[in-house]
């Protein structure tokens, strides 16, 4: 007799839905049930700032890759939204759930468990959506922020946090002509992507656009009665009738801990490269888990969409009997602030030093089109090399149109442990509208390699 | 007593001027004299179609990287324009020259000779600029074409040749609202870059823009009295009151042969990786020489700006005592037709087959932005793999904004002999304005690898 097996997936965002869909595709006999606390599965959190800015015209709620109905029909996966998993008895292979809207509860017997509970915001100041203090993490947050903006027409927005979300929301607010102040605890913005010298170009552009940028300030509270009026950061005060708090996230490990998963030093669930937790029949993936960095050799949670999708896919394949392995990451990232494109791969100089590399850098301001083309572009490029070997450790780029996509070439080089000499030798594409004869990355490699030889 | 040595460089375009400038920089004692038949040195031939289209506003003659005066002042190099080298007696280390304007002649004793005579057009039909039949090779050609267009306002242009120059001139003519017919001997356009299936997307766009595209037709003559009236191709006739003939080039080896340089099977001067000809004190570089292809292992002349600049630089370094080596090429190329971006690296499927590879392909139509962004982009991507190893042999991309620059990532992969599995694993950049979560190259690698495994 054929007994169908059940896979329970907790979390229906990128990782969970990838795991669910892929497992079902590979093993059609599997019953797959996904539990999602929020109102949507499989959505693009990264798109929210562009929707809020009005650049994306369609409603926030439609920015989903898949609805529960489509998941059922197209993927054969049952996805239950607004449903919280309240307990897991893994010895008995059973979990309990609660319908967050209707209030009903129930249980599900499963054979295999996949944890994809993601991450949760770690707001530096208390959130209070009723009074205009928001995080921007789940799609439901985006919907709330969108509505608030429409209903309350704020005049002064404070953004707390200088990472991706902070910069993208700063862009959105200037597009909406709202006075914006960004409060950032670090010495400069986009610390994960850029060193201070490169972040300076972003800061300049932000100030051009009228944003007040307050670096090195720890937001520690806010005040206001019916509605927020001020954000405080030590002795500094920022006037604000709305605040977006984007001060990072941490893995949402509560259920994983309850099941007995090991938690790493960086706060994520420890998994092997196949997304196995070490507990029989328990897998984990997405923002929840620590993933390996190919350059540093360390493991850390990295809440980026590609890694969530990939780790989810790998969990799904392996749950259904494959043996796929997560290849690691090198930290490629891209964002923009208006017409300024910002991209990075590998380690920043500061990160390389922190990890004990003997690092040498080269920086250029390079053309991104032939100089005689209309509206010629330029980019600031910085390349980090390992002093002894010449291996490229990282590349950062900040510039106009035609800057961001070049980072992928740097990523392909770093992925394969290329040296600056290789970066200089590759025949990159040339045509006047798309670049100069000598590619910006090649030019920067030449400068960095010269520095390295001088410093040997 | 210190006796200064003299380097004579024949040809003042990209390769010759790179060799001259780099040799002088590395060895300031060197006297460097460059002879150039044309009216300009160190210019961007690649920019000419964009100037003719009116996209570049400045005059054609100003599209030079360096004037003779600047060469003298900034680089310490004497560049004599409109001066033809009429003979070389290398045993005596002396050359004779003729001033093509004034008619004067003279001779120069040299110690080292660098040949950078470039390539010459191989027009399928006879050129006659007085009657409106042009090549577009030297900057002087561009100036003549620009003037002719202004003076004669042609209504029907025939472009002969479906390579880079043909496509770019077809774009220029449609920008100028001139009825355009492109006559191409091959089965499809851009044969060096694209296979027939990919070229189809270009052909469609050309036809959208009103261009009559005649493939598989060998232009064999033209007729007209004071001015061209028709181009003929076998039994076909194309009405034209102007023609641009862009049917390729071949190395201009006359002087090199006179000096005794060996000529390869592909018609270029044979050099080692240091640009040495094998004749004592004679170097050659640029379009004149055969350069090594890293994938096929063959040597062939490739008249592209980057290779000319690079081989010139290497010749210059080595003339001055260095030991730099040309790293080879993989054939990365990019162009555009209006908003359609066209890029290629490595071998096409047809080229791979011709060179004896057992090749398997994967093709996708991939997004180049998140689908919900305004004006979302897509690209057709084709990847060629070596069946046995999975090594990437080539990538072709044709699509909207954000297509072309991605080819550099493919180039970096191919350069390092990456497999499709690696291409799929690299963490490429993701952010909704710049791409989908799964990069077009990664997606295509996945499809191609699946094909390969099926076909093993």
How far apart are the CA of A181 and the nearest CA of chain B, in angstroms? 23
Greater pLDDT, B376 or A345: A345
Residue A287 clears pLDDT 60, i.e. is over it: yes
Mark yes or no for CB contact A306/B56 under 8 Å.
no
Q: What is the pLDDT of residues A97-122, one digit of tens each?
A: 999 999 999 999 999 999 999 999 99
In which band, very low, low, confident or very high, does the pLDDT at A63 lie, cut at 50, 70 and 90? Answer: confident
Spell out which residues of chain B touch residue A405, defining contact as CB-CB under 8 Å: 402, 405-406, 429, 434-435
> What chain B residue is nearest to A374 in terms of C-alpha separation?
B56
Spell out which residues of chain B touch residue A327, defining contact as CB-CB under 8 Å: 425
Q: Which of A305, A372, A427 sits opposite B329 (nearest CB)?
A: A427
Q: What is the pLDDT of residues B11-41, one digit of tens each?
A: 999 999 999 999 999 999 999 999 999 999 9
pLDDT of residue B3: 64
Mark yes or no for CB contact A309/B438 under 8 Å.
yes
> What chain B residue is nearest to A168 in terms of C-alpha separation?
B431
The whole-number average pLDDT for the span A6-16 is 97
Mark yes or no for CB contact A336/B405 under 8 Å.
no
The whole-number average pLDDT for the span B234-258 is 97
For A366, what's the count of Cα atoms within 13 Å in the CB-facing half-sphere? 27
How far apart are the CA of A419 and the nearest CA of chain B, in angstroms? 11
Helix (H) or strand (E) holding B139: helix B139-152
Catalytic residues of B: 46
Q: Which of B56, B416, B437 sits opposite A373 (nearest CB)?
A: B56
Q: Cα–Cα distance between B50 and B61 in angstroms, integer? A: 13
Lowest mean per-residue pLDDT among A254-258, A275-279, B1-5, B169-173: B1-5
Mark yes or no for CB contact B412/A412 under 8 Å.
yes
- DSSP code at position B419: B
Q: Which of B47, B332, B422 sits opposite A372 (nearest CB)?
A: B47
Mark yes or no for CB contact A427/B343 under 8 Å.
no
Greater pLDDT, A1 or B296: B296
Spell out which residues of chain A touch residue B410, defining contact as CB-CB under 8 Å: 412
Q: Cα–Cα distance between B71 and A455 in angstroms, integer? A: 32
How far apart are the CA of A322 and the nearest CA of chain B, in angstroms? 15
The whole-number average pLDDT for the span B273-292 is 98
pTM of the model: 0.96
Mark yes or no for CB contact A306/B437 under 8 Å.
yes
Spell out which residues of chain B touch residue A56, defining contact as CB-CB under 8 Å: 372-374
Q: Is A98 helix (H, G, I), strand (E, B) or coil?
A: strand
ipTM of the complex: 0.95
Per-residue DSSP letters for B330-396? ---EEEEETTEEEEEEE--HHHHHHTT--EEEEEEEEESS-TTSSS--EEEEEEEEETTT-BEEEEE
How far apart are the CA of B186 and the nearest CA of chain A, in angstroms? 23
Mark yes or no for CB contact B333/A306 under 8 Å.
no
The whole-number average pLDDT for the span B284-308 is 96
Could you tell me how many CB contacts below 8 A there are between chain A and chain B?
A: 194
Q: What is the pLDDT of residues A351-400, one digit of tens each?
A: 999 999 999 999 999 999 998 998 888 999 999 999 999 999 999 999 99
The whole-number average pLDDT for the span B283-287 is 98
Whether residue B386 contacts residue B357, with contact meaning beta carbons closer than 8 Å, is answered with yes
Q: Which of A50, A411, A412 sits opposite B373 (nearest CB)?
A: A50
pLDDT of residue B2: 54
> What chain B residue is nearest to A63 in terms of C-alpha separation?
B372
Q: Which two tokens stand for residue A416?
A: 């394969």
Spell out which residues of chain B touch residue A331, defining contact as CB-CB under 8 Å: 427
Residue B1 clears pLDDT 50, i.e. is over it: no
> What chain A residue is nearest to B332 in terms of C-alpha separation?
A429
Q: What is the pLDDT of residues A392-413, one digit of tens each?
A: 999 999 999 999 999 999 999 9
How far apart are the CA of B62 and the nearest CA of chain A, in angstroms? 9
Q: How far is CA B6 from CA B26, B32, B109, in A?
A: 14, 6, 8
Residues ≥6 apart with Cβ < 8 Å to A36: A11, A12, A13, A16, A79, A80, A81, A82, A83
Residue B157 clears pLDDT 50, i.e. is over it: yes
Catalytic residues of A: 46
- DSSP code at position A64: B
Q: Which of A56, A306, A434 sits opposite B427 (nearest CB)?
A: A306
In which band, very low, low, confident or very high, does the pLDDT at A43 lie, cut at 50, 70 and 90? Answer: confident
The whole-number average pLDDT for the span A157-165 is 97
Mark yes or no for CB contact A372/B63 under 8 Å.
yes
Which residues face B33 on adjacent strands? B8, B78
Mark yes or no for CB contact B411/A404 under 8 Å.
no
Q: What is the pLDDT of residues B2-18, one digit of tens each?
A: 567 999 999 999 999 99
Using CB atoms within 10 A of its CB, is residue B58 exposed (0-12), middle (13-18) or buried (19+)?
Answer: exposed
Spell out which residues of chain B touch residue A428, defining contact as CB-CB under 8 Å: 306, 332, 408, 411
In which band, very low, low, confident or very high, does the pLDDT at A3 lie, cut at 50, 70 and 90? Answer: low
> What chain A residue is nearest to B403 in terms of C-alpha separation?
A405
> What chain B residue is nearest to A416 in terms of C-alpha separation?
B416
Q: Which two tokens stand for residue A46?
A: 């990264």
Spell out which residues of chain B touch residue A415, defining contact as CB-CB under 8 Å: 422, 425-427
3-state secondary structure string, A310-364? HHHHHHHHHHCCCCCCCCCECCCEEEEECCEEEEEEECCHHHHHHCCCCEEEEEE
Which residues face A189 on adjacent strands? none
Q: How do beta strands A179-183 and A212-214 pair? A: parallel
Spell out which residues of chain A touch residue B418, defining contact as CB-CB under 8 Å: 412, 416
Q: Cα–Cα distance between A325 and A333 in angstroms, integer? A: 22
pLDDT of residue A65: 86
Checking phi first, is residue B390 left (phi over 0); if not, alpha (psi -120 to 50) or beta? left
How far apart are the CA of A207 and the nearest CA of chain B, in angstroms? 22
> What chain B residue is nearest to A415 in terms of C-alpha separation?
B426
Q: Which two tokens stand for residue B334?
A: 């990019």
The whole-number average pLDDT for the span A422-437 is 95
How far apart are the CA of B376 and the nearest CA of chain A, in angstroms? 11
Mark yes or no for CB contact A415/B426 under 8 Å.
yes
Residue A33 clears pLDDT 90, i.e. is over it: yes
Residue A25 clears pLDDT 80, i.e. is over it: yes
pLDDT of residue A375: 87
Q: Residue holding tokens 């493939």?
A: B215
Spell out which residues of chain A touch residue B327, defining contact as CB-CB under 8 Å: 425
pLDDT of residue A1: 47
| Number of Cβ atoms within 10 Å of the Cβ of B221 | 11
């Amino acid at each position: 007799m054929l007994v169908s097996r059940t896979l329970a997936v907790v979390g229906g965002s990128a990782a969970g839905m990838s795991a669910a869909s892929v497992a079902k595709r590979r093993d059609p006999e599997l019953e797959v049930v996904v539990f999602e606390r929020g109102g949507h599965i499989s959505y693009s959190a990264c798109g929210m700032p562009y929707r809020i800015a009005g650049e994306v015209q369609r409603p926030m709620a439609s920015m989903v890759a898949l609805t529960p109905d489509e998941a059922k029909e197209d993927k054969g996966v049952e996805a239950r939204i607004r449903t919280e998993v309240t307990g897991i008895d893994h010895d008995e292979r059973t979990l309990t759930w609660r319908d967050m809207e209707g209030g009903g509860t129930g249980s599900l017997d499963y054979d295999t468990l996949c944890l994809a509970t993601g991450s949760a915001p770690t707001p530096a100041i208390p959130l209070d959506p009723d009074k205009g203090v928001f995080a921007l993490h789940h799609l439901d947050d985006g919907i709330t922020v969108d509505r608030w903006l429409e209903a309350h027409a704020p005049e002064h927005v404070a953004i707390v946090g200088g990472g991706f979300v902070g910069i993208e929301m700063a862009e959105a607010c200037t597009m909406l002509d709202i006075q914006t102040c960004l409060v950032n605890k670090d010495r400069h913005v986009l610390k994960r992507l850029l060193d201070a010298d490169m972040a300076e170009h972003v800061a300049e552009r932000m100030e051009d656009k009228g944003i007040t940028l307050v670096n090195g300030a720890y937001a520690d509270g806010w005040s206001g009665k019916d509605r927020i009026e001020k954000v405080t950061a030590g002795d500094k005060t920022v006037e604000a009738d709305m605040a977006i708090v984007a001060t990072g996230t941490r893995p949402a490990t509560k259920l994983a801990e309850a099941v007995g998963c090991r938690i790493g030093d960086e706060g994520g669930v420890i998994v092997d490269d196949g997304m196995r937790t070490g507990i029989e029949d328990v897998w984990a993936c997405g923002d929840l888990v620590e993933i390996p960095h190919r350059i540093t050799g360390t493991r850390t949670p990295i809440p980026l969409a590609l890694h969530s999708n990939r780790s989810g896919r790998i969990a799904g394949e392996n749950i259904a009997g494959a043996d796929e392995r997560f290849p690691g990451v090198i930290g490629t990232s891209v964002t923009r602030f208006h017409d300024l494109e910002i991209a990075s791969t590998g380690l920043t100089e500061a990160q390389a030093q922190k990890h004990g590399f003997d690092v040498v850098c080269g920086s250029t301001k390079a053309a991104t089109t032939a100089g005689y083309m209309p509206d010629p572009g330029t980019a600031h490029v910085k390349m980090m090399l390992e002093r002894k070997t010449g291996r490229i450790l990282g590349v950062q780029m900040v510039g106009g149109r035609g800057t961001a996509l070049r980072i992928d070439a740097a990523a392909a080089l770093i992925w394969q442990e290329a040296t600056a000499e290789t970066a200089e030798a590759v025949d990159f594409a040339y045509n006047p509208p798309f670049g100069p004869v000598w590619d910006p990355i090649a030019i920067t490699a030449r400068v960095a390699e010269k520095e390295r030889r001088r410093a040997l």
